Amino acid sequence: MTALPDLLDRAWTALEAGAAPGRSRFSMVYLATTGLDGAPRLRTVVLRRADRAAGTAGFNTDLRSPKIAEMRAEPRAALLGYDMEAGFQVRLEGRARLLPQDGAAWEAALPRSRICYRHAYAPGSRLERPEDGDPTEAMIAPEDADSGLPNFCAVDLLIERLEALDLSATGHRRAEYRATEGWAGRWLAP
Q: According to the model, what pLDDT value does residue 142 have? A: 66
Cβ 88 vs Cβ 166: under 8 Å: yes
d(CA 66, CA 175): 32
The CATH fold of domain 4-188: Pnp Oxidase; Chain A (2.30.110)
This prediction's pTM: 0.93
Instruction: Provide the pLDDT for residue 137.
Output: 67
Residue 137's identity, in one-letter code, is E
**The pLDDT value given to residue 114:** 87
Specify the pLDDT at position 123.
92
Q: How many CB atoms neighbour CB 34 within 10 A?
A: 16
Q: Mind listing the pLDDT tens digit for each residue in 19-55?
A: 999 899 999 999 999 999 999 999 999 999 999 999 9
CB 163 within 8 A of CB 7: no
pLDDT digits (tens, 9 = 90+) for 88-120: 999 999 999 999 887 889 999 888 888 889 888
Q: What is the pLDDT of residue 180?
A: 86
Alpha-carbon distance of 18 to 92, in angstroms, equals 14
- Which position has the higher pLDDT, 58 or 137? 58
Q: What is the pLDDT of residues 129-167, one digit of tens each?
A: 998 888 776 666 666 778 889 999 999 999 999 999 999
Angle at 49 between CA 136 and CA 51, to 5 degrees: 170
Q: What is the mean pLDDT of residues 77-86?
A: 97
Report pLDDT for 112. Answer: 81
pLDDT at 65: 96
